[in-house]
A = this chain, B = another copy of it.
Amino acid sequence: MAETATPVGILGASGYTGGELVRLLARHPRVIIDHVTSERYAGQPLTAAYPHLRAAGTLVCRPMAAAAAAAGRCPVVFCALPHLTSMKVIPDLLAAGCRVIDLSADYRLREAQNFATWYGKPHSSPDLLQEAVYGLPERHRGRIAAARLVANPGCYPTSVLLGIGPLLEAGLADPDLIVIDAKSGASGAGRAAQQGMLLSELHEGFKAYKVTGHRHIAEMEQELAGYAGRPVTIRFTPHLVPQVRGILSTCYLRPRQEVDLARWQGVLEERYAGEPFVTVLPPESLPATNEVRGSNGCVLALHQDVRTGWMVVLAVIDNLVKGAAGQAVQNLNLMMGWPETAGLDQLPLFP
């Protein structure tokens, strides 16, 4: 492997997303992890942060400063730094000749004003927003392949866009009456110590949060507008499930005309025929989050409610894989011209 392996860097390896990148990339057949960074664990072996990665080899965490030097030998760098931090380092990485897959939200919105509105600060490299490609492979495969900067989608948006985007594109659903009720495991909140994320607080403590104004709305509406060919507004509520991984988005759509279920189903099936990571179940199926845990899969199921006229799309993903690190690896594969499933063929872990 060594001979042909491509070296990559991972910035921010001690967060959950960074750890997941290491898990996947350490077993990627064409990649060698050149360096990982973590301010908190700088100078320590990565296993100090993540004992489960013992078998991944002897990676040592470096400070960001050291990583900058290494960028020169890495054609691609993954940036798993927090929002607002990524944009401080990415321009330099690009300038050094790296291509970058950014797992933060910093380059997902195309309009600098939109970014400022949702993230509360002006963007520090607004010129790059137009260049960055929104890294949803099933939607922007071609542009990703050619991109210098890929903005890896948020976890909730991945589930929602895959689930309802094609139905909006086909003009089947009313773009003004979309309700998304989404649920995520606790790993989505990251590894920082917060009282509210303690096991004692969450166990038996299902709840909603950010009932209005979750920042993922911005990228969802931006991308959905692309599907629909016109502005789209979504009513979006995230909830915190007392489990670690997994997102289920329950998406409610109003049909624009009388529903032909076979047509709705057909739109999804045709759209995802040949897609290695998206499964469209038969209508009325009930996917569970543990069907995709640990894998890059997304599973969709359509339900028609004849009584009320609503259509419901259920979409499940593993928020750390298809919702973050796995999708980033999929983007890497596209950018390098490798098979899209390289390093992503693990089956889900159940039970």
Binding site for B on A (CB under 8 A): 16, 19, 23, 26-27, 50-56, 177, 179, 181, 183, 185-187, 189, 191-195, 197-209, 211-213, 233-235, 237, 239, 241-246, 248, 250, 252, 279, 284, 286-295, 297, 299, 303-308, 310, 312, 314, 316, 345-351
Contact = CB atoms under 8 A, between A and B. Distances in A.
A193 B287 CA distance: 20
Contacts of A279: 54
A269 to B, nearest CB: 15
A198 B199 contact: yes
Contacts of A314: 208, 211
B208 A351 contact: no
Contacts of A193: 193-195, 197-198
A48 to B, nearest CB: 12
Contacts of A303: 211-212
Contacts of A16: 200, 351
Most chain-B CB neighbours within 10 Å: which of A187, A197, A200, A237?
A200
A248 B200 contact: no
Contacts of A351: 16, 187, 191, 200-201, 203, 244-245
A203 B297 CA distance: 19
Nearest to A207: B288
Most chain-B CB neighbours within 10 Å: which of A27, A202, A252?
A202
A314 B23 CA distance: 25
20 contacts: A19-B350, A23-B349, A27-B346, A51-B291, A52-B350, A181-B252, A193-B193, A199-B244, A203-B351, A204-B244, A205-B289, A211-B286, A212-B303, A212-B305, A212-B312, A234-B308, A235-B308, A237-B312, A241-B241, A294-B349
